[in-house]
Amino acid sequence: MDDVLTDELLTGIAAIDEQHRNLFVRAGTIVDALRRTHAKSDVRRLLDFLDSYCAEHFQTEEDAMERLHVPDVLKHRTAHKVYRGRVRVLCEELEAMGASADLAVRARMTLVELFVEHIKDHDLPMARHLRERADGDFGL
């Protein structure tokens, strides 16, 4: 899913763009594993890792926003909680139904499409504010 992170989704902040790229790669691995109906434990491990990676990435963004006094940090933090909640719902569905093509479709919607919307709605405006305030030193 390297092709998902198009130029229009790049924030211009190398550390954040690299983390986004990694998130999409991991999401693609999960969707592929679900499509191929890998063992539930394997997919669960991938989802757990993605959730941990999200927590780290989201904390990086939130710390930078607070340090540089970017507006809407609470709104952004709430969006992060919503996304991680959707990842947990996927974990619950995986436990209940196992890996399947149907769950792969829902995973793609959550892990990829929802994240694309998150970048557009939250990360691009955040990055604009960070670039205005940081003079190139984002402390990331």
pLDDT in tens, 83-92: 999 999 999 9
DSSP 97-125: H-S-HHHHHHHIIIIIIHHHHHIIIIIHH
pLDDT of 2 > 60? The answer is no
pLDDT in tens, 94-107: 999 888 989 999 99
Identify the pLDDT of residue 120: 95
The model's pTM: 0.87
pLDDT in tens, 42-88: 889 999 998 999 999 999 889 988 888 888 899 999 999 999 999 99
Return mean pLDDT, the chain: 88
All domains of the chain, ordered by start, with CATH? Answer: 2-129 (1.20.120.50)
The greatest distance separating any two alpha carbons of the chain, rounded to the nearest whole angstrom, comes to: 49
